[in-house]
A and B are shown apart, each in its own frame.
Chain A
Amino acid sequence: MTDAAAGPARGEEMVQLLDATGARRAHPDHDVHLEPAEALEVLRDLVLLRRLDAEAEALQRQGELGLWAGSRGQEAAQVGAARALRRQDHVFPSYRDHGFLLARGVDPLHLLSLFRGVDHGGWDPVEHGVHPYTLVIAAQMLPAVGYAMGVQRDGAVGTGDPARDTAVVACFGDGATSQGEAAEALNWAAVYNAPVVFLCQNNQWAISEPVRQQSTVPLHRRAEGAGVPGVLVDGNDVLAVLSVVRSALERARSGGGPTFVEAYTYRMGAHTTADDPGRYRDAAEVDAWREKDPIDRFRAHLRAEGVLDDAFEERLAAEADAFAERLRAGVQDMADPEPASMFEHAYAEPHPQVVAERDEFLAAWARHEQDEQHATAGRDR
């Protein structure tokens, strides 16, 4: 049995409110009570996120998307954290944080157009409170701290007004902790007491590199040197993540400073559709994590509480099917962008060098189109 399958290192206690079977556990510092309606909304978020992931993976395998970074297995970490957000909070996602987008009301077709390569992700970061995806590892962490420092300077921290006090979430993975930006971001956040929550989804694998080769200490303790307290939470327990992130956000909004949350979870699928995890990890490890599935666990809990019944499950399944169908049709309808459009968003106002490049490109494109027509005529003869 590998480290990742066995769980966190000896002596490291995870905050857990639901065990792997869905049974409720007590914790001295954390507790969450959800009204039945909200609990079912959380289940719906989890199920639709998984469906988005499955449909996107299939679309990539059918040539409709250029690439897909899967979120299967990490639903609770994302959905639980996103539910702790307030309207005015702002999220800096990485590239696998699809749960945050759904929770913040971004149309998932904006996400799929990014992975299809027809645009750079078209959602409005201000409207939704969620930044564009960052594909460069850890590159979103310093901007997140900067944004949080801006919030501070706007006086939107520690006022006691729940509609005004704002926090920022920086999402990243276990591999990102090895980047220089991660260390810089933690230090700046600590020194300036910035209202930011560092949410590390430790999914055990940085592509093919296991966590044990990334760090000699548990990840949540990496921030202590900078003076940022760390918390380890069971990332497959949606209630525990909600509770831990809620406390961390509240601390940030009230002026208490940054927190590092390590959500201990697992990437059930490949790193991206261009990766084959069978080459570097054992099936037994994946099987061990399947037993800890975040959705099965929450379902079992809701069943035991008498909140969830078959009728709701059926409605949810039908909704997920319709959701997937809408995504499929939406992706297939996406038009290729006009080639010249790539020059339109480089600068807010015309720039002579970009204009020259655009004209040169358009001339080359016209020549290419002409050649293609000749070739087509030759073939059809």
Chain B
Amino acid sequence: MDLRAEVRHFIAENFLLTSGPIDLADAESLTSRGILDSTGALELVAHLEARYGIAVTDEELHPDNLDSVERIAAFIERKRA
């Protein structure tokens, strides 16, 4: 599974509570869709740290890094680089 698919899978299971297909474009804002708020972001960060072995600083807890599937995937790649 590529990184974007993995992120989509996590969002589907953890936030939308489904294993089925989800109607969400990779570039779509998770906040605007009501999927992510600041406590949701904490759930997301906990998952990224556990799953990908990265550490997310307070300053990185930013919508620019975490507010869409493609931003999250790019963020993981940058952190792992």
Q: Do A and B come from one complex?
A: no
Q: Contact residues of B with A, CB < 8 Å?
A: none
